[in-house]
Structure 1
Amino acid sequence: MEKTKGKTGISRARFMAGAAAVGGAVAAGGFAAPAPASAAVAEARRGLKHRGIVYTVGEGETPGTAWSARRMREDVRVIGEELHADSVEVTGDGVERLNATASEVAERGLHVWLQPTLGDVPQREILEHLAESGRHGERLRRQGAQVTLAVGCEFWLFVPGILPGDDVFERIENLQKGNYDPAKMKKRLARFTAKAAAVGRSVFHGKLSYAAAQDEWLEKVDWGLFDIVGIDYYSYLPRKADYVRELSKYLRWGKPLAITEFGTCTFKGAPEAGGMGWDIVDHSKNPPQIKGNRVRSERTQAAYLTDLLDVFESMNLHAAMTFEFVTADAPHRPDNPLYDLDMAAYAIVKSIKDRPDDPASDWHWEPKQAFHAVARHYGRATC
């Protein structure tokens, strides 16, 4: 499902880069579900309901970073036991990868935010991919797991036929140059979003959501189709009160608000760059290298994440998903900052290759300061 002849689905990392450029088997006995909160408890809740992390599944860009069920299971264990997250946003493409990861998250007793994001293939295949993933989410839900289904992410860019262009980068170029009809784009986007919501409802009977761009001029969603408002959020503002003011507009529908992505990269000045933090790599060089005189700063990343988490907690939002756990194809090079691609990664752990110049090299990850900062925040909040 994740591929069509002659074309592969776009990775979530590539998708995010494009968007920023414009501004196992289920246990037979079921899952242990927490006791439902009473209405009085729900009304009295303070802080986030779900504190989570984005976990992207994909086939990997090199033999060494190919998807591994073994790695995934260990990562999910760490997310629950050491990061103290109670929710995992399982996103990416490939039904088998999505389903295996969602099952593992459910087995661990964590909330599954299932968000299939197959892109750059025909719309029919994207909807079929959504339906297959949604059916698995429904099976998990019926066995007692906590599951939310998000039908996709920023369709205006991810899905062919809404903006002109055969892939994400062509669509970005057409958007930037004004080579599109805004009225037609909005109509096509609304039509596909409604189709995706209908497919989601037909196979999944829990809460439904969608991850929209924060720029409403670009993507104005009919939130009547969904139970939870979802926003990918990459703002940088001077004061916490400014974030509250900006986010409050997403509460006007009277529905729970989930921050489906938020984060920053690992260098000084990255938060100010917002969603463009990734754009410090010169991919015309072989191997790719960092542009300019960037200074690595794990502290900068950690401080931004905890500041935003404080804002989300103060607003009692439904969920916040830190973007992201690991980016295997952006390895850290402690020996050579020029090739330290992890500076351009949003991940809270750094991937380190055993043999930096070998595409087939094995690798491991180590926690960044951001991992420890988020773990402390999540751990305190759940005590």
Structure 2
Amino acid sequence: MKKTEEISRARFLAGTAAVAVTASTLSAGQAGAAGRAPKRRGLKHRGVVYTVGAGETPGTAWSAARMREDVRVIRGELHADTLDVTGDGVDRLTTTAAEAAERGLHVWLQPTLGDIPPKEILDSIAECGRFAERLRRQGASVDFSVGCEFWLFVPGIIPGETVLERVANLQSGSVDIAGMQRRLARFTARAAAVGRSVFHGRLSYAAAQDEAFEPVDWRLFDVVGIDYYAAFRRPSDHVRELRRHLRWGKPLAITEFGTCAYVGAPEAGGMGWDVVDYSKEPYEIKGDLVRSERTQAAYLVDLLEVLESMGLYAAMAFEFVTPDAPHRPDDPRYDLDLGSYALTKSLKDRPDDPASNWHWEPKEAFHAVARHYGRRARPLPRRNHG
């Protein structure tokens, strides 16, 4: 298939603002139906999201060697038992999934493409699904997700040639929401059918957390997948919010959750990234933020305790590393890591050189999640899958 444009996290999370604006109207006065929480306690799968992509520069592009070392750390030091492999590029996705499987990790494989014709998106789903099925037949533990929030990524569901145009149209209030939801339902059904035709394990999809905005017919899937960015002071409020997704009687996976490392980031939810002024060159942080890795770490662990208490199927922290949001400890104005949800901070060897080599270092969130996962870790056998 043709090389596709990588969708940056900033562009993806821009959609959250649109959801917040639109869903606040749709949800007014509506109480979500609550399902009964499962009796089993403790997450079945504890993981992290690993995004593959072309990168904004050649230096931050996906690298097989770097990926293999990252997967080693994710298994051995973060103590995750699951890797959520997402992004674009079938070769990058399948190579990373194969490495995770070889190291004994549970694989959650999810192609995420945008701004290309729907047929090409379906072709990518088919290619990745066939690979996931090969891994499954070779003995790997694999779930396959056909995609993520199609309303944002797939052209033709919301008017607009690009993600940014679709978000702008949604925020303007000019979109026919009922029509959008019908088109979304049709494409989701097509994607599910393609996934079923090539993959015979557990099938899923990653939806926005607000059902009023993105209603999904979960009868099409085996696992309910929700991208969850919410801030509540009381654990019971998280439980109430999440319980509505259990009424389908199917396992619930939190396909993304997390926050950024500054004071006030959890309250910003899925808009925590919106502290970077991308109109300036170089990109610059807006306002006077107070960096706080402790804030990020505390949010992740507190939410993990809630998810454990509900006995959910899986939870994948977003995300392991964000190479295109480097940390600048010497100059907070350009500390783009403040807009990153990553458990690690990326540092360039030469901060002012776009082509500079870089490395990552763990944040407090990495250590906090590692302690949480480590206390609950089960032995993961390394395997060879041929």
Q: TM-score of the superposition, structure 1-length normalised?
A: 0.92
**SS of the residue aligned with 1:115?**
strand
Per the alignment, residue 364 of structure 1 pairs with 359
The one-letter amino acid paired with 2:183 is R
> Cα offset for 1:120?
0.8
Give yes or no for contact 1:10–1:120 (8 Å, CA) kept in 2.
no
- The whole-number CA distance in structure 2 between the counterparts of 1:12 and 1:309 is 26
Residue 146 (str. 1) matches residue 141 (str. 2): yes
Describe the shift of the 1:95–1:17 C-alpha distance in structure 2 as closer, same or farther (beyond 3 A): same
**SS of the residue aligned with 1:21?**
helix
Correspondence for 2:306 among 308, 311, 317 = 311
Equivalenced residue count is 360
- The whole-number CA distance in structure 2 between the counterparts of 1:299 and 1:317 is 26
Q: Where does the alignment leave 5 or more consecutive residues of structure 2 unmatched?
A: 21-37, 379-386
| Residue pairs, 1:197-208, within 5 angstroms | 197-208=192-203
- The whole-number CA distance in structure 1 between the counterparts of 2:200 and 2:223 is 14
Describe the shift of the 1:12–1:283 C-alpha distance in structure 2 as closer, same or farther (beyond 3 A): closer
**SS of the residue aligned with 1:138?**
helix
Per the alignment, residue 178 of structure 1 pairs with 173
The one-letter amino acid paired with 1:56 is T
- The whole-number CA distance in structure 1 between the counterparts of 2:311 and 2:172 is 40
Q: TM-score of the superposition, structure 2-length normalised?
A: 0.92
- The whole-number CA distance in structure 2 between the counterparts of 1:10 and 1:110 is 25
The one-letter amino acid paired with 1:64 is G
| Deviation string, structure 1 residues 119-145 (Cα, Å, up to 9, x no partner) | 110000000011001111100000000
> Cα offset for 1:183?
2.1
Residue 18 (str. 1) matches residue 1 (str. 2): no
The one-letter amino acid paired with 1:193 is T
> Cα offset for 1:118?
1.1
Per the alignment, residue 30 of structure 1 pairs with none
| Deviation string, structure 1 residues 79-101 (Cα, Å, up to 9, x no partner) | 00000000000000000000000
- The whole-number CA distance in structure 1 between the counterparts of 2:110 and 2:205 is 8
> Cα offset for 1:338?
0.8
> Cα offset for 1:232?
0.2
Residue 328 (str. 1) matches residue 323 (str. 2): yes
> Cα offset for 1:12?
4.5
> Cα offset for 1:215?
1.0
Per the alignment, residue 355 of structure 1 pairs with 350
Residue 102 (str. 1) matches residue 97 (str. 2): yes
Question: More relative contact order in 1 or in 2 (CA 8 Å, sep 6+)?
Answer: 2
Give yes or no for contact 1:95–1:132 (8 Å, CA) kept in 2.
yes
Percent same amino acid at aligned positions? 71
**SS of the residue aligned with 2:56?**
coil
> Cα offset for 1:328?
0.1
| Residue pairs, 1:145-294, within 5 angstroms | 145-294=140-289
Give yes or no for contact 1:2–1:118 (8 Å, CA) kept in 2.
no
Correspondence for 1:128 among 120, 123, 129 = 123
CA RMSD of aligned residues (A): 1.2
Correspondence for 1:342 among 337, 346, 366 = 337
Residue 74 (str. 1) matches residue 69 (str. 2): yes
| Deviation string, structure 1 residues 315-342 (Cα, Å, up to 9, x no partner) | 0000000000000000000111110000
> Cα offset for 1:20?
2.0
Correspondence for 1:111 among 88, 106, 115 = 106
